[in-house]
Amino acid sequence: MSSSLEKNMLILRSSDGEEFIVPEVVAVMSKAIKNMVEDECASNTIPVPNVDANILAMVIEFCKKHDESEAEAASDLKTFDSEFVNRGQEALYDLITAANFRDVKELLDALCQNVAEMIKGKSVHHIRIQFLGYQLFEILTSNFIWNIWCDRDFD
Amino acid sequence: MEDHSAKKGKTSQYDDDQISQLPCNVLNAIFSSLTMREAVRTSVLSTKWRYLWTKSLSNLTFDVPNILDREEYTSIDILYTSEIHKLIIPWKRKLAFLNSVDQLLADLSPDHKIEKLKVHFTFHRNKYGTHLDRWICFAILRGVEELDLSLLEIDYYFFVPLKGSIYDFPCDLLREDGSIGKIKSFLKCLRLAHCNLAPRHTNLIGFNTLTTLDLKWVDLTSNECVCNLLSSCRALEWLSLDKCYGLDYLCIAHPSCVRLKYLNVHDCKGLSVIEISGINLEKFEYKGYKISFVLNEAVIVPKEFPTFSNLKLLSIAEIPTNECDLLWIATLLKATASLQRLELHIHSNDNMEEPREIKRLPRCLHDYLKEVVITGTCGHFSEIEFAIYILNNAVVLDKMMIDPHPRYYTGNGKWDVLHACDSWKIIGRKRVLEHLTREASSQMVLMIL
C-alpha cells in the first residue's frame, strides 16, 4: 500500500485505527508531525494516539482549508474558522486537546478565541448554561429528589 | 445567603465541565483574549473555575473599566451637585479602586508569573504612593516584563503639577542594594505618564534589561537624574521623551545607551541642548522649539542613504513650500530608482512671492517614473522648480497632474480634500501654466486643474 502512495502523501492513523491519506504540506501544519517528518523518524504511517477518527477528520478538514486558501481572502477564511469552531462543548474539548497535543497553532488559536467569545460580554447565568448546560437537568433533578427525601426525614 | 451557599456545595460534585480541565497553556490563551474583568468574573461559574484565573492571568490591567463597577465611580466628570460631593466622591472612588486592586492581588496564586502590569488611574498626589509601590514590587517579584503606569485619566494639555506633588516612581526598588535588588528583574519595557522618574543614584540594576523606555508628561527633575537613569539602561534600544520636563540638557553619550536605535524627543519644555556622542542611531525624531544639537561622532542617519529599490509608489504628505526648497525630494528620488508614481501633498499658505529666476538642478534621469500628482499647489516658485525638474528628468513620464486642492491624510488610507487657495485663480495657475507648458514634452499629458 505504502509503495503505491504518492511521494508527498502521508498516512495518519487515528487512535481507533482509521487511516487518512493526507498531503504532506497539510500534515505538517501540526508542529508535532512536522518534527517527526523532519527527523525522519516517521514511516509513511504516522500514528496519532489520543485522537479518534471523528476528531482527526475535523482537524484535517481545517488544515486542508487553511492550506488551500492561502491566496483566498482573509475574511473568507475567518468566516470558515468561526463556523468550524462553533461546536458542542464535547467536540470543542476534544478538538482543543488534539490541537494542543499535536501543536496545530492556527486551529488552537481559533478554538481559544471561540471559547473566549463564549465568555465575553455574557452574563454568568449564560456562561453557566453554555459550559455546564448539559448537566443542568441532572443537577436540578438530583437536588429535587434529595429535597424530597430530606422533607420525608423531617416528617 | 446560607441557602445559596448550601446549594453551591451540593452542586459542586456535578460541575465537571470540560473547559476548566484544559491544560494551563490553553487556559492562558483563552484568558489572555478576555478583559481582566471578564477573566476574574469566571471565578463565580463553579468551584472548578473558582481559582482558574488566579493561575492563568498574566496581563494585569488596573483601570476604571476593569476595577470599578459602580456608575458614579466610572465617570471622571466632577460636575456633582453639591460641594461636598465634589470632595467625597473622588475620595471614595480612590478608596474603592485601591481596595479592589489589593483584594485582587491577594487572590493571585503566589508562584504565578506576571507579564504585564498596567495601571491607569488618577493619583494626583503622592499620598497613595505606598500602594503603587507595593503593586510594582509585587509585579517585579513575579518577573514582570512590561510596566505601564499612567496616573491621570485625562491628558490636560496645560497641566503641570506642583513640584513634588506627583507620584515618585520607586527607582530605589530596582537598585542593587534596594529592597528587592537581589532578585533578577525581567523588566523590558517601562511606560510612564504623569509621574516623577528621578533616580538619585546610579547602578539601578533593575534597568539593565530595559529595551524600551517611553515617558510622557514625566517630571525628570534634573539633568543629573536623567544621567543616572541612562547610565543604568545598558540594553536600551528605544527611547521616547514626550512632553517631559525638568531637564535642559539631554546628553546621550557612550558608554550608556550604546544600543540605542530610536530616539524621539517631543515638545520637552525647558530643553535647550541635545547632545549625542558615540551612538549609532537609526532614527531620531525631534519636535518642539528650536534648540541646539551637539553631535559628536554620532551617526544619525544610517551611513549610507537608504535605497528603496522596489518602491513603486511614493506619497509624501503635508509638505510646506513657502520659501522652502522642494528639491530635497530630488535626493529622495535618487534613492527610489524604480519609482513609478509619485504623489506630493503640499500644505502651504498663499502669500505669493515676487517673480524670480528659476533654479535648476543638475540632470539626473529617472527611468521608471510615469505619473506624478502634486496637490495643494499655490503657484510658489519652489513648486514650479520641482515640477520642471521632474519634466526634464523623468524620461518616460506619461502624466503630470497639478491640483490646487490641498489634501490631508486622516488615517486608514483616507484623505480630506480642502478648498484651493484664493490666489490660485488670480496668479498661481497662470504662473504654473506659463512655466510648465514650455518644459513639457509632446508625448505626455499635463493637467493643471
Which of A97, A112, A132 has its CB closest to that of B29? Answer: A112
* Residue B9 pLDDT: 41
Q: Residue range B414-418: average pLDDT?
A: 80
What residues have CB less than 8 Å from B141, skipping those under 6 apart? B180, B183
* Residue A151 pLDDT: 41
Q: How confident is the model at residue B394 (pLDDT cuts 50, 70, 90)?
A: confident
Q: Which residues of A touch B16 (CB under 8 A)?
A: 135
Task: Show the beta-strand stretches assigned E in A16-143.
Answer: 19-23, 45-47
Q: Inform me whether the pLDDT recorded for B294 exceeds 90.
A: no
**In this predicted model, what pLDDT tens digit does every residue of B326-339 receive, in sequence order?**
666 776 777 667 77
CA-nearest residue to A127 within chain B is B45
Highest mean pLDDT among A119-128, B154-163, B261-270, B341-350: B261-270
Task: Copy the grid coordinates of residue B212.
Answer: 524600551
Residue B86 touches partner A, C-beta closer than 8 Å: no
DSSP string over A40-77: T---SEEE-TT--HHHHHHHHHHHHHHHHTTSS-HHHH
Of the listed ranges A12-21, B22-31, B98-107, B309-318, the least confidently predicted one is B309-318
Look at A139 and B30 and tell me if their CB atoms are within 8 Å.
Answer: no
Q: Inform me whether the pLDDT recorded for B141 exceeds 50.
A: yes
Q: Find where cell 523588566 sits.
A: B187
DSSP secondary-structure letter at B328?
H
Highest mean pLDDT among B124-133, B269-278, B376-385: B269-278
Q: Inform me whether the pLDDT recorded for B149 exceeds 90.
A: yes
pTM of the model: 0.66
Q: Rounded to an integer, what distance in angstroms lies between the CA atom of residue A126 and that of residue A105? A: 29
Residue A150 touches partner B, C-beta closer than 8 Å: no
Q: Rounded to an integer, what distance in angstroms lies between the CA atom of residue A121 and that of residue A133? A: 18
Q: Residue range A125-131: average pLDDT?
A: 77
* Residue B146 pLDDT: 94
Q: Rounded to an integer, what distance in angstroms lies between the CA atom of residue B161 and that of residue A59? A: 58
Of the listed ranges A31-40, A141-150, B20-29, B68-77, the least confidently predicted one is A141-150
Q: Find where cell 468551584 sits.
A: B47
Q: How confident is the model at residue B118 (pLDDT cuts 50, 70, 90)?
A: very high
Q: Residue range B288-302: average pLDDT?
A: 66
Q: Residue range A127-140: average pLDDT?
A: 61
* Residue B135 pLDDT: 92
**Which one of B7, B8, B11, B49 would you mutate to disrupt binding with A, by most A Cβ within 10 Å of its Cβ?**
B11
Q: Inform me whether the pLDDT recorded for A145 exceeds 50.
A: no
Please give the C-alpha separations between residue B428 and each of B87, B357, B384, B418, in angstroms, as whole numbers.
61, 16, 10, 17
Q: Inform me whether the pLDDT recorded for B91 exceeds 70.
A: yes
Q: Which residues of A touch B7 (CB under 8 A)?
A: 143
CA-nearest residue to B6 within chain A is A143
* CB–CB contacts below 8 A, A to B: 68
* Residue B373 pLDDT: 87
Q: Inform me whether the pLDDT recorded for B106 exceeds 50.
A: yes
- Parse chain B into domains and list their residue ranges: 8-296, 313-448
Return the CATH architecture of domain A9-120.
2-Layer Sandwich (3.30)
Q: Rounded to an integer, what distance in angstroms lies between the CA atom of residue A144 and that of residue A130? A: 22
Residue B4, min C-alpha distance to chain A (Å): 13
Higher pLDDT: A143 or A120? It is A120
Contact in structure between B391 and B436 (CB atoms under 8 Å): yes
Higher pLDDT: A66 or A44? It is A66
* Residue A80 pLDDT: 83
Higher pLDDT: B90 or B213? It is B213
**In this predicted model, what pLDDT tens digit does every residue of B55-84 receive, in sequence order?**
888 889 998 888 887 666 655 555 555 677
Beta-strand relationship, B249-253 and B238-242? unpaired
* Residue B315 pLDDT: 67
CA-nearest residue to B16 within chain A is A132
Chain mean pLDDT for chain B: 78
* Residue B333 pLDDT: 75
Q: Inform me whether the pLDDT recorded for A35 exceeds 60.
A: yes
Q: Inform me whether the pLDDT recorded for A100 exceeds 90.
A: no
Q: Residue range B387-391: average pLDDT?
A: 84
**In this predicted model, what pLDDT tens digit does every residue of A61-95 receive, in sequence order?**
888 888 877 666 677 788 888 888 877 777 888 88
Residue A88 touches partner B, C-beta closer than 8 Å: no
* Residue B325 pLDDT: 64
Q: Which residues of B touch A109 (CB under 8 A)?
A: 29
* Residue A155 pLDDT: 33
Which of A109, A116, A132 has its CB closest to that of B17? Answer: A132
Higher pLDDT: A96 or B339? It is A96
Phi-psi region of B397 (alpha: psi -120 to 50; beta: other; left: phi over 0): beta
* Residue B302 pLDDT: 40
Q: Residue range A113-127: average pLDDT?
A: 83
Residue A93 touches partner B, C-beta closer than 8 Å: yes
Beta-strand relationship, A19-23 and A9-13? antiparallel
Q: Inform me whether the pLDDT recorded for B240 exceeds 90.
A: yes
